Amino acid sequence: MAKDNKNVQIFMPPNNLRAKLGGGGYIDSDIVSRAEMAMAELQTEFPDWLAEDIQALNTAQAAFSAGRNTDTAGVLFRAAHDLRGQATTFGFPLIARIAASLAKLMEGLAKVEVALKDVPLPLIGAHIDAILVIHRQNIRDISNLTALTLTEELEGRVLKTLARAGL
């Protein structure tokens, strides 16, 4: 067998990340500890913020139910999206998943331009009810079997609804 004598060259691009950090990549532990303390302080305030976000979601749902239009649908989507981010940041992973599921539902139905009268209000209500229960029970553990089963069921229903709508 004859060997191919092709010349191979390997180019290694320079890694400039360390230089971009400045100071040789050193991270001041004092800055990190101050940031951790600030986050700990915020976490004590989060239950109030979470309650406000859940109330905003309830208000958005009521407005959408009363007058289904693109504005109220957008408000409902944004409320769910915002709640998803807040819940993730402050340790309510199941609320984050349920809010993400609701946001996915609203966004998906808007993409395929489903008639707003056909948006399933009971499915939206089930998402919000689940969020309320998880918040009331202060369920932060993702291994809570009942809450996890409920979350997965809601996510599954959203996927089926979007599939029926053509997504």
Read off the pLDDT of residues 41-77 as tens digits, 9 standing for 90 and up.
777 777 778 889 999 999 999 999 998 888 999 999 9
Q: What's residue 50's pLDDT?
A: 85
Contact 121, 65 (CB under 8 A): yes
Contact 61, 76 (CB under 8 A): yes
Phi, psi dihedral angles at 82 (to 5 degrees): -65, -45
Name the pTM for this structure. Answer: 0.75
- Residues listed for the chain: 167
pLDDT band at 114 (very low <50, low <70, confident <90, very high): confident
pLDDT band at 22 (very low <50, low <70, confident <90, very high): low
- Mind listing the domains of the chain with CATH numbers? 45-165 (1.20.120.160)
Give the Cα separation of 136 and 76 in Å (integer): 21
* Angle ∠(89,90,94) on CA atoms, nearest 5: 90
Where do the H-state alpha helices sit in 67-138? Answer: 70-89, 93-111, 121-136
Radius of gyration of the chain (CA): 23
Cβ-count burial 86-100 (b if 16+ within 10 Å, e if not) = bbeebebbbbbbbbb
